[in-house]
Amino acid sequence: MKDVFARLGADFFSTIVFLAVYLATDNVLLATGVAIAGAVAQVIYSRVKGKPLGYMTYASLALVIVLGSATLLTHDPRFVLAKPAIGHFAIGAIMLKRGWLLRYLPAIVTDNIPEYVTVAGYAWAALMFVLGAGTIGVAMTGDMKLWTFYVTVVLVGAKVAAFAIQYVAFRLLIGSRLRAAARA
């Protein structure tokens, strides 16, 4: 589990840096510049240490540089605020692959309710698309306080709630299947 959080932290490093600097200074342009520098430094550090860099790291770097530069050149924060949406759309597209969720679940789930796992995988993809669209909508307002709330509370809260719903639903479905099998 620690490894998962470390990977997520690495993948979203520039967004975390952006939020931290923005919350500390209330300056979007400074936060954008520091996020760009942080993303570049992260890649350089990883290369120097000989750590393998994944596709997400390079994609994130490209997005930070392109969208961050657009924000710095135009003084319009909406470019950099849209970055998390692109990530959500990309992840949602990956989640459209049938059975992607199977490798993340214990055998008791995949053995007893594989048809529901497929549905849950598509539900996760839909959630990513909805959250991405919401991020674009909030970014278009240009309201930094609303965007900060959305990214830190709504995006995280929606995923935690979806995980909790999935967990409870899977437990109930598996319990029902196991009881039915015991009666048969």
106-125 pLDDT per residue, tens: 889 989 998 899 999 999 99
Residue 55 has a pLDDT of 72
- DSSP letters of 109-159? HHHH-HHHHHHHHHHHHHHHHHHHHHHHHHHHHT-HHHHHHIIIIIHHHHH
pLDDT, position 7: 66
- Whole-angstrom distance, CA of residue 81 vs CA of residue 179: 49
Report pLDDT digits (tens) over 7-66. 667 767 888 899 899 989 999 999 999 999 999 998 999 889 998 877 777 888 898 899
Tens-digit pLDDT profile for residues 58-87: 888 898 899 999 999 999 999 989 988 998
* pLDDT one-digit tens code per residue, 96-110: 999 888 888 888 998
Q: Does residue 1 register a pLDDT over 60?
A: no
Strands (E), the chain: none
Q: What is the pLDDT of residue 72?
A: 95
105 closest CA partner among 158, 166, 175: 166
pLDDT tens string 129-177? 999 999 999 999 989 899 999 998 999 999 999 999 999 999 999 999 9
